[in-house]
Amino acid sequence: MPLIPEIARTWRIRYQRYRLEGTRCKDCGKIHYPPRLICDKCYSRNLEPYRLSGEGEVISYTVVNRGATGFDAYTPYIYAIVKLKEGIVVEAQITDVDLEDVYVGMPVEMVVRKLTEYRDDGLIVYGYKFRPKLEGVKNE
């Protein structure tokens, strides 16, 4: 994959990837992730950036033993569906935990980690993952 298109894409989605930023409708209050230009509840175009808390719980997960192209080096890993405090549901890898310690209902928090790297170009791609919530520590 050529380096230039991946750099452009990374810059385009940097806020949703690094800060878990969506949009909130100023008219009806609906929160969207990923960000939208038009509210799917009231069809308003009056949306503003909204940073999600990054805190939630695992509602489903699987252990990936054979990864997609480019991700085989990271197997096995846990891929989960996480419901955030705001009610938004996202998919992400669970990190910083042993495979057997993940469970449905586990409290988690978002962290930025390496997703993959393009060895020929040297580009490292970062993004959000989730880890078990550290009690007493506020995620910033």
Amino acid of residue 65: N
Q: Is residue 56 part of a domain?
A: yes
What is the token pair recorded at 121?
């170009």
H or E segment at 102?
none
pTM score of the predicted model: 0.78
Q: pLDDT tens digits for 92-133?
A: 999 999 999 999 999 999 998 877 776 666 677 778 899 999
Rg (CA), the chain: 16
Which residues are registered as beta bridge partners of 20?
A: none
E-assigned strand segments in the chain: 21-25, 31-32, 47-51, 55-64, 77-84, 89-94, 107-118, 123-132
pLDDT at position 25: 98
Q: Is residue 25 part of a domain?
A: yes
d(CA 43, CA 53): 25
Rounded to the nearest integer, the mean pLDDT of the chain is 84
Q: Is residue 140 part of a domain?
A: no
User: Which band of pLDDT confidence, cut at 50, 70 and 90, is reported for residue 31?
Assistant: very high
Q: Is residue 138 part of a domain?
A: no
Bigger pLDDT: 80 or 124? Answer: 80
What percent of the chain is modeled with pLDDT above 90? Answer: 60
User: Torsion-angle region of residue 87: left (phi > 0), alpha (psi -120 to 50) or beta?
Assistant: left
Min mean pLDDT across 1-15, 54-68, 126-140 is at 1-15
Domain coverage including residue 114: 3-132
Total count of domains within the chain: 1
Q: Is residue 126 part of a domain?
A: yes
pLDDT at position 140: 46
